[in-house]
Structure 1
Amino acid sequence: MEKIILHVEGMTCNGCANSIKNALGQLEGVRQVEVDLASGKVEVLCDAGMPTRDSLAEAVSDAGYDVVG
């Protein structure tokens, strides 16, 4: 298992957090997603090497949010 941390801008409420959880949760290999609205931090627990950080960032972007780190 691997933990990937993304820093996301644009999240303002629990609806935003749920949108990101749903978008990331649909990717193969994702096991758990935790969102901290206050810090903008999204922690993803996934199978090693699957999905890639770029795939995660793309899913967040497709959901309407910006990955800044």
Structure 2
Amino acid sequence: MSDKLTLNIGGMTCNHCKMKVEKALKTLDGVQDVQINLEAGQADVSYDGSKISESDLKAVVGDAGYEVK
């Protein structure tokens, strides 16, 4: 069973941005799937909540240079 979270992300303007955020999230142990909607500025993340937390997900997006709203 996995947890799901939708992150609202500011600053994504192109496919490179989308790929950068997706790659950053997928580096975390416990992230199972990432679907990014560039137009909506959202990332839907499926993850194992016993391995990582919501704050871990937000931190890695911030470290990649984008703002989690």
With normalisation by structure 1, the TM-score equals 0.93
Partner of 1:61, secondary structure, is helix
Q: Which runs of 5+ in 2 are unaligned?
A: none
Identity %: 37
Aligned position for 1:52 = 53
Q: Which runs of 5+ in 1 are unaligned?
A: none
What is the deviation of 1:45? 0.6
What is the deviation of 1:49? 3.5
Aligned position for 1:19 = 20
Partner of 1:12, secondary structure, is coil
What is the deviation of 1:51? 1.5
Aligned residues: 68
With normalisation by structure 2, the TM-score equals 0.93
TM superposition outliers: structure 1 runs of 4+ over 6 Å: none
